[in-house]
Structure 1
Amino acid sequence: MGTRWISTWRARWMRVKRGGELGFSGLLLVVGILLSLALLPELPGLVRGTLAGDGEAARTLFVCAAGIAVCMLQWRWRAAIYPQLRRDTSQEETP
């Protein structure tokens, strides 16, 4: 009786944890998309400023590009970053 109760709660906890990790990775993806949309109108001015030698424009452009890259890469490699998102059916138990 106790073992079945523990395995049921363990399965529920794993589902909740998996959903949380998927939700968090999706939230970071949305942040990356919003950052891309916010950078888009400013991009010509930042590139022009960077080519003219403005250090602040170059720093802003680099930080925005790095932030977008991190958000997109964590979505692309979410199964490696968030362990619960790995799909290994050989170890899953059917209740």
Structure 2
Amino acid sequence: MEGKKGIWRARWARIQRGWDLVFSGLLLVMGVTLFVALLPGLPDMIWNALTGDGEAVRTLFVGGAGVAVCVLQWRWRNAVYPHLRRDARGKRS
């Protein structure tokens, strides 16, 4: 009976690691998409922010923060998603 529990635990751990990888990958894609969407309007937003437009400043801040969160969660995904941390340790050995 214990052997079957171990098999299911291993499968469940693999499913959780896979889900964490998919989710972190989707967030990375969202960050890249946000960056690409903001890129064409960036010169105008910067100019408007420098001339005192509060909405442009807010858009730059929120867009930059969104891209940073998406990229940083990918960069440190082993710390953010604990199931991936175990997977990374196993590959080093």
Q: Scaled by the length of structure 2, what TM-score is found?
A: 0.93
Higher share of residues assigned helix: 2
Q: Percent identity?
A: 58
Match of 2:11 in 1: 12
CA offsets 1:2-32 (integer angstroms, 9 cap, x no match): 1000000000000000000000000000000
> Which whole-Å CA distance do the structure 2 matches of 1:10 and 1:43 have between them?
48
Match of 1:31 in 2: 30
> Which whole-Å CA distance do the structure 2 matches of 1:49 and 1:8 have between them?
59
Radius of gyration: which is bigger?
A: 1
Give me the CA root mean square deviation.
0.6
> Which whole-Å CA distance do the structure 2 matches of 1:56 and 1:9 have between them?
52
Structure 1 segments unaligned to the other structure (5+ residues): 90-95
Number of matched residues?
88
Match of 1:93 in 2: none
Match of 2:52 in 1: 53
Q: Which of structure 1's runs of 4+ aligned residues deviate more than 6 A?
A: none
Match of 2:89 in 1: 88
> Which whole-Å CA distance do the structure 1 matches of 2:31 and 2:89 have between them?
28
